[in-house]
Chain A
Amino acid sequence: MDVVIKHLYKSFGDNHVLRGVNLSVEQGKITVIVGGSGAGKSVLLKLIIGLLRPDKGEIYLNGTDITKLNEGQILPLRRKIGLVFQTGGLLNSLTVGENIALPLKEHRIGTRREIEKIVAEKLELLGLKGKENEMPSHLSGGMRKRVSIARVLALNPNMILYDEPTAGLDPPMAENIDTLIMDLNKRLGVTTIVVTHDLQSIFKIADTVCMLHKGVIIESGKPEEFKHSPTPVVKEFLHRLNT
């Protein structure tokens, strides 16, 4: 699935978060979006999946402008896109297994036995075998993120969006998640967009790095180009992350 964003604007009251974002995401590649806190990175992800509506602009997913669709028309499209929330977004009243089975049950995909098989497969893939009966509140931050990824994978998406996947995790766990993102991208060929602050992640996983600053994309390129960018804001950003 490819994504093309044209002149995207989004405000919350007097807070003008996005002021004309233009962005192209290549199919099957990993695009990392970086930027300071409050730059609108998470808002951009929510706009791409249609959870928020832009004030102005167009978002094309495989050539379809989703800003022209109503909520009912977007719902089926969302099955093809997975969003891994910063906090996991797991339903706390359901067990790990029930969380992963939820989209399958609600969309009536497969019999009960088939759903159980998919849940077991996804848990094993994410290294969570035997955790199906645990409640999300009993899991560590890293585990919650992996369960969230497992739930996203249950619907076999064409695109996965990750919102700060390594935030709050210790370095080994963060590296583990990075490896997982790359592995899933290679193995399943899914288009991947990652929003992160983590310098290690940026240069480890990205095919393309984009920087969002003051509501617009000010830099976009390969990780090496980004690292040696002459743009002062990018230099300052990388310097701050390094220190």
Chain B
Amino acid sequence: MVALLRKTEDIFAQLFETSGGILVLFFTSIAEVRYVGRNLDKLLKQMLEVGFNTLPLASLIGLFTGMIVALESGLELKELGLEHIVASIVAFSMMREMGPVITAMISAGRVGAGMAAELGTMTVNEEVDALRSMGINPVRYLVMPRFWATILMQPLLTMYAVVIGIWGGSLVSSALLGIASEQFMHNVFRALEFSDITFGLSKTVVFGAMYSIISCYMGLTTQRGAEGVGRSTTRAVVVSLTMILVADYFIGRFFG
């Protein structure tokens, strides 16, 4: 019984330490934005990684997500004679839900895991300590460019995935439901409102900020060599994906 209580106490202590550390890193990264000018090279490098290098994966995932939404909803709606609303469903779900969430998830799995592994390796190789020993702030040098690059690029990446997804939906609608592409696009533009776009893109900023800070935190707190790097990377992805879904629910519940 005592052992169980002690174990529970340890779990809660670890939970508070981790969430506190993540929050401190988040606010520090925001405050460090004043040094973004002298770190432009690092910011651009990270923007390339978060944005451009994720495009192939975002294309594939976005395309198939749009196609699946059109397929699943289209065949049911066709039986009811309501196939003309498939475009609205694809546009609405891609812009408000599927686009932001799926893009954030693949980014957390690709970019976030990369951040955790890279910073984790630097930590166990004493590179982060070396920076501190030279009077260089590791948050400014390593975390801030990654954090702001993600915040800037995640909405663009999501918008791209949404467009590709809608295009995928139009392909399926045209092939299986007999809806012309022009008609499909016309319905998309009629269904989407400006508030849907701002809502979807606002979510991506929150998701991007979350997975980048969680991943950087996990990387910087890595211990015990290569095994520790693996563990940090796994934790970064698992915690990021969980937090993305939790945040998605609460954003939808209170702001949707």
Chain A interface (Cβ < 8 Å from any Cβ of B): 46, 49, 51, 75-79, 81-83, 85-87, 89-92, 102-103, 106-108, 151, 155
Question: Hey, which chain A residues are within 8 Å of B136, CB to CB?
Answer: 75, 102-103, 106-107
Partner of B122, one of A82, A91, A103, A107: A91
Q: Do residues A85 and B135 form an inter-chain contact, with CB atoms below 8 A?
A: no
Which residues on B sit within 8 Å (CB–CB) of A51? 129, 132-133
Q: Verify if B141 is at the interface (C-beta below 8 Å from A).
A: yes
Q: Is the CB of A106 within 8 A of B133?
A: no
Residues of B within 8 A of A102 (CB): 134, 136
Per-residue CB contact flags for chain B residues 126-158 toward chain A (1 = under 8 Å, else 0) read 110111111111000100000000000000000
CB contact between B135 and one of A46, A86, A107 (< 8 Å): that residue: A107
Interface flag for B19 (CB, 8 Å): no
Residues of chain A within 8 A (CB-CB) of B131 are 91
- Whether B134 and A87, one on each chain, are in contact in the complex, defined by CB atoms closer than 8 angstroms, is no
A-B contact pairs, 10 of them (CB 8 A): A75-B135, A75-B136, A78-B134, A79-B135, A82-B134, A89-B130, A89-B133, A91-B130, A92-B127, A103-B135
B 102-133 binary contact with A (CB < 8 Å = 1; else 0): 00000000000000000000100111011111
Taking a contact as CB atoms closer than 8 A, the residue among B122, B127, B133, B137 that contacts A49 in the complex is B133
A190 to B70, CA, bound (A): 72
A107 vs B133: C-alpha distance in the bound complex, in angstroms?
13
**Taking chain B's interface residues, is the majority helix, strand, or loop, or is none over half, making it mixed?**
helix
**Which chain A residues lie closer than 8 Å to B126 at the CB level?**
85-87, 89
Q: Given A49-B133, A75-B135, A89-B133, answer yes or no on A106-B127 (Cβ-Cβ < 8 Å).
A: no
**Complexed CA–CA distance, A90 and B127 (Å):** 6
A103 vs B125: C-alpha distance in the bound complex, in angstroms? 18
Distance between Cα atoms of A82 and B135 in the complex (Å): 10
Closest CB in chain A relative to B14 CB, distance in Å: 13
> What distance in Å separates the Cβ of A205 from its nearest Cβ neighbour in chain B?
21
B125 neighbours in A (Cβ, 8 Å)? 87, 89, 92
Contact check, A103 vs B134: say whether CB atoms are below 8 A apart.
yes
Cβ-closest chain B residue relative to A83: B133
Q: Assess whether A78 is in contact with B141, with CB atoms less than 8 Å apart.
A: no
Report how far A52 CA is from B136 CA in the complex, Å: 15
